[in-house]
Amino acid sequence: MKIIKKSLVVGLLAVLQVTSSFAQEKSDVKKLDDDQRMEWWRDSKFGMFIHWGAYSIIGGERGTQIAGGGAEWAMDKLDYTIEDYEKFPEMFNPTMFDADAWVTMAKNAGMKYIVITAKHHEGFALWDSKVSDYDVIDKAPFKRDVIKELSEACKKQGIKFCFYYSIVDWHHPQAQGNLYPNYNISQHDDPTVVNPKFPKYYKNYMKPQVKELLTNYGDVGVVWFDGDWISDYTTEMGKDLYSYIRDIQPNTIVNNRVDKGRTGMDGMNNNPGQFAGDFGTPEQEIPDTGIDSDWEACMTMNGSWGYKPSDTDWKSSEDLIQKLVDIVSKGGNFLLNIGPDGFGRFPSESIRRLNAMGEWTQKNGEAIYGASASPYAKPKWGRYTKKDGVLYAHVFDWPETGTLKLHKDIKVKKATVLTDSKTVLKSLATSREVVLEVPMLAPDATVSVIKIELAN
Ligand code: H79
């Protein structure tokens, strides 16, 4: 899956450089090779997704109706016409928005990057876009450039700033706007349900907006596209867009939804080399086993991406910590979502979970950041991660017996509880198994980590 093959990239770039009609500033940033370019992202493991827009005012409710699923789909699910919906951007005034506080919360949770919805399917842009009036400066009373404030706060606090951009646009007349209110996601693979003007939207609106985001807000870690499924959008556009982005910011990472390679909600490409994009994007699911290519699972804490007070079905902090470990043990990244409300606040339930994850990563981060997939199958009691000559055993179900059974091939040089490096645990290897003597009580209430230095 990993990226389009190098030869293809080079070929594509060459073609685009010759045929390119758009003028753009060439970056003088040193161009990294793909492994160097992906390095910070691969090591980061844990990022924050932020879904924020005019839908954050609505909270998924209209009269007696409650939108099923994600509340960021309010415009579609609650049957707003374009005209009716515009009143929400017109009242978007989240004066409690504090970019520095948001970034601090991400950082304290142990997250290394932030991906914010610069524009979701509703079409409302959270920055000062020059190609649109449907943005936070021109349309909303807020008149503050959210992307500017957040990107600057990220830079200041050493977090990678990244943005999400939806290819789907329910507001733009040359995109899905013309189909409203008859737009229907089930038509996504019906080639007759397209807007013939979509290529104009792509060229004169979408690309210029993406360019603004890549030009005016400093270094961008990741560009995270979505809405790739619509039949209006083609693989030619995807490949063109990928090159366009890398031309403006050569070291930016782009998800696989930039092209048409994604096969479903499992988010992976079936045909490596045929589609643009640097990593796969499983949505609301974690693959059963490790995958030998770059991927990132994105997930909500309750069931909605956008703010939705009626959804109180929150995953526990323990579950979220175990999901992080599970993902890292399979070689992926975890992009965990927050849906701030229309005032600019993170839900208290989300903050509590961020805090719990921060407490855990603070103590056990060594076994997460920069770690790679487990070389062994899932043990019954939890997961393994690996880094250099060290194996980490993440114990979800602490044994009551005082002994932990490790995979028989593990050659223990020294084992300790990660948070207690002074107490060396005894190990016993037989031909059938390796057994560690561990404390009777679990060292950590959620996931206890044992650090095992390997005797190669
Ligand atoms: O922003 C959040 C959601 O609003 C957005 N993605 C996350 C990150 C999202 N939009 N739509 N969906 C999620 C669900 C769409 C599922 C489907 Fe399909 C699109 C079903 C059919 C078309 C993708 C492509 C899955 C199968 C084919």
Per-residue model confidence (pLDDT) at position 179: 76
DSSP-derived letter for residue 178 is: G
pLDDT for 223 equals 99
* Ligand 1 atom nearest to 229, measured from its CA: 24
pLDDT at 376 over 90: yes
What distance in Å separates the CA atoms of residue 243 and residue 8, rounded to the nearest whole number?
Answer: 11
61 band by pLDDT with thresholds 50, 70 and 90: very high
Strands 160-166 and 113-119: parallel
For residue 186, report the distance from its CA to the centre of ligand 1, in Å. 11
Q: Are 277 and 259 in contact (CB under 8 A)?
A: yes
What is the per-residue pLDDT across 65-81, written as a single tens digit (0 to 9) for each? 999 999 999 999 999 99
Ligand 1 pocket mutation, candidates 296, 305, 338, criterion most atoms within 8 A of CB: 305
Query: What token pair was written down for 368?
Result: 């997460």
Residue of higher predicted confidence among 456 and 99: 99
Span 103-149, pLDDT tens digits: 999 999 999 999 999 999 999 999 999 999 999 999 999 999 999 99
The CATH class, in words, for 382-454 is: mainly beta
Mean pLDDT check: name the lowest of 6-15, 197-206, 228-237: 6-15
The residue contributing the CA closest to ligand 1 atom 5 is 226
State how beta strands 296-299 and 160-166 pair. unpaired
Select from 420, 397, 321, 319 the least CA-distant residue to 361.
Answer: 321
Q: If you measure from the C-alpha of residue 439 to the centroid of ligand 1, how many angstroms do you get, rounded to a whole number?
A: 45
Residue nearest to atom 1 of ligand 1 (CA): 305
Domain-wise residue ranges, the chain: 31-367, 382-454
- What span, in angstroms and rounded, lies between the C-alpha atoms of 196 and 348? 45
**Best of 117, 163, 265 for a ligand 1 pocket test (most atoms within 8 Å of beta carbon):** 265
In this prediction, residue 18 carries a pLDDT of 35
Q: What is the DSSP string of 116-145?
A: EEEE-TT--BSS--TT-SSBTTTTSS----
pLDDT for 22: 36
State the average pLDDT for the chain.
Answer: 92
Q: How far apart are CA 77 and CA 62, in angstroms?
A: 10
Q: From 283, 335, 336, give the residue whose CB has the most ligand 1 atoms within 8 Å, as the site to mutate.
A: 283
Paired with 349 in beta bridges are none
**Cis before 141 (ω within 30):** no
> What pLDDT, on a 0 to 100 scale, did the predictor assign at position 366?
98
User: Residues lining ligand 1, judged by CB closer than 6 Å?
Assistant: 70, 72, 185, 188, 226, 229, 264-265, 283, 298, 305
Give Cα separations from 87 to 37, 57, 83, 303, 450 (angstroms).
42, 11, 8, 26, 54
Contact predicate 450/416, CB 8 Å: yes
* Residues whose CB falls within 8 Å of the CB of residue 83, separated by 6 or more in sequence, listed in order: none
Share of the chain above pLDDT 70, in %: 92
pLDDT score, position 30: 80
pLDDT digits (tens, 9 = 90+) for 272-301: 789 999 999 999 999 999 998 999 999 999
> Residue 370 pLDDT > 60, yes or no?
yes
Rg (Cα) of the chain, in Å, rounded? 23
**What pLDDT is recorded for position 31?**
83
E strand or H helix at 403: strand 403-406
When pLDDT is cut at 50, 70 and 90, the band that residue 267 belongs to is very high
* CA 227 to ligand 1 centroid distance, Å: 7
Per DSSP, the three-state class of 253 is strand
| pLDDT over threshold 90, residue 384 | yes
**Of ligand 1's atoms, which has the minimum distance to the CA of residue 188?**
22
Residue 384 contacts residue 326 (beta carbons within 8 Å): no
User: Measuring from atom 2 of ligand 1, which residue has the nearest CA?
Assistant: 305
In this prediction, residue 270 has a pLDDT band, given cuts at 50, 70 and 90, of confident
Bridge partners of 405?
A: 435
Strand partners, 113: 47, 160
Architecture of domain 31-367: Alpha-Beta Barrel (3.20)
What would the DSSP string read from start to end of 273-335? TTS--SBB--BS---SS--SS-BEEEE-SSS-SS--TT---PPPHHHHHHHHHHHHHTT-EEE
At 393, phi and psi to the nearest 5?
-100, 115
Over the stretch 313-329, which tens digit does the pLDDT of each residue have?
A: 999 999 999 999 999 99
Quote the ligand 1 centre to 426 CA distance (angstroms).
49
> Secondary structure of the chain: what % helix, strand, coil (to 5)?
30, 20, 50
Per-residue confidence (pLDDT) for residue 13, from 0 to 100: 40
Sign of CA dihedral 89, 95, 96, 100: positive
Measure the CA–CA gap between 74 and 79, rounded to whole angstroms.
8
> Cα separation of 301 and 314, whole Å?
6
Q: Tens of pLDDT along 4-54?
A: 333 344 334 433 333 333 334 445 578 889 999 999 999 999 999 999 999
Lowest pLDDT segment from 25-29, 176-180, 428-432:
25-29
Q: Is residue 263 very low, low, confident or very high in pLDDT (cuts 50, 70, 90)?
A: confident
